[in-house]
Structure 1
Amino acid sequence: MNDTDTREPVTEEPAVAEEAATTPDESPEVSEPDDVRAARRIRWAGTARKLAVPAVVVLAVLATAVAGFLGWKLDEKSDIDAAGEAGLAAARAYAVTLTSVDSNHLDRDFAAVLDGSTGEFKDMYTRSSGQLRQLLLDNKATGTGTVLDAAVKTKTETKVEVLLFIDQTVTNAAVTDPRVDHSRVQMTMELVDGRWLASRVYLP
């Protein structure tokens, strides 16, 4: 070893300084006066109320919207049900008009059929009425229709499809005894200017 030691001397930090670096500042907690704590709670309560108000408004708007939608759907269903009943009643009445005919009063009967029809069926009946009239006159035919049963197949507010079961009692010059014909008829009724008219009549 050399006589002269060139290493720098090791400096040791005092123990007090080390403790100061590693020990957190543990200053005593300062207690708040009761009136300060009370004021803070009041401020928090006010803030909570302000936040709650928009939530209540949103819930109220949603509830109103849902209630309005459900009310609209109920009104729509009620309107469709009412249309179905009206269309069914009109179809039953028109079926009797269509199947009741008297060769002595053909003008009256044909006018009634045309008055209760529209669209496709009215056009078809108008085209064939001349031939039908001659056939009824030649045979001195009469017919009386009776609806045994009827039911709605489909319905909207302006169109109702009805299925009817009809008996038609027919007499003519060749057959003295009345004959009963059984028919199943499907009729489409449409709302035109406030009236339910037959737009299609056929045997399914």
Structure 2
Amino acid sequence: MGTDSATLTDGTDTPDATDPETAGTDSSIADKGSGRTGSTRLPLVLLALVAAAALVAAAVLGAQLRNARGVEDAARAASEAARQFAVTLTSVDSADLDADFAAVLDGATGEFEKMYAESSAQLEQVLIDNQARAEGVVVESGIKSATTTKVEVLLFVDQSVTNTLVPEPRLDRSRVVMTMELVDGRWLASQVDLP
């Protein structure tokens, strides 16, 4: 009977806390458990990094889209202003020069405004003496370059001209490159070139 109870005690699967072999097994199980926790954290960190990178990319893309939209809007507005200004610039009536000159100066800025103010004073008497009249029409236009505050517009302008020497209307065709700048919320011509 004593032998049987000894066998039962020895044959049990209950680990002995004082047995170094079983103690080692418990601690290695604990280590493996903590190792799993560390390996679980690594994918979470990577996921957070990927999410952060995606947010940054989305913000950058959003800013680029907003900028592109801003440039498109600026180009559209400047082109429309340039077309109107080209008509104002190429249309003149010697009977109403003050109003014509004032309209051009109202749509100009910078060096072009200064140059036009000086040259119009010199041209005034010539235009009156020759009873000059001109009417401009923009046939086609396109954007050469654009930012949100400065746009270069290429315009093709037909100008019908009459004067005392040429009483029948003569058609002049011009290609004009106009630089428009945003000044106090208005698109104004800062440079006008005839390439």
Distance in 2 separating the partners of 1:200 and 1:36: 83
SS, match of residue 187 in structure 1: strand
**Equivalences for 1:11-160 in 2 at 5 Å?**
42-160=33-151
Letter in 2 for 1:177: E
Letter in 2 for 1:195: R
SS, match of residue 173 in structure 1: coil
Residue 148 of structure 1, CA deviation: 0.7
Distance in 1 separating the partners of 2:48 and 2:33: 23
Question: TM-score scaled by structure 2?
Answer: 0.82
Distance in 2 separating the partners of 1:103 and 1:120: 25
The count of aligned residue pairs is: 175
Letter in 1 for 2:110: G
Residue 39 of structure 1, CA deviation: 6.0
Distance in 2 separating the partners of 1:83 and 1:36: 71
Distance in 1 separating the partners of 2:49 and 2:166: 78
Is 2:186 the counterpart of 1:195? yes
Counterpart for residue 12 of structure 2: none
Distance in 2 separating the partners of 1:176 and 1:116: 30
Distance in 2 separating the partners of 1:127 and 1:186: 21
Over aligned residue pairs, what C-alpha RMSD do you find?
2.1
SS, match of residue 78 in structure 1: helix
Task: Say which one has the larger Rg.
Answer: 1
Question: TM-score scaled by structure 1?
Answer: 0.79
Letter in 2 for 1:186: V
Structure 2: which 5+ residue stretches go unaligned?
Answer: 1-20
SS, match of residue 85 in structure 2: helix
Bigger proportion of residues as helix: 2
Residue 78 of structure 1, CA deviation: 1.1
Distance in 2 separating the partners of 1:199 and 1:50: 61
Q: Please list the CA deviations of residues 127-183 of structure 1 after superposition, one character each: whole Å capped at 9, or x if unmatched.
A: 111111111100111100001111110111111111111110011122221111111
Q: Quote the sequence identity (%).
A: 51
Distance in 1 separating the partners of 2:22 and 2:47: 37
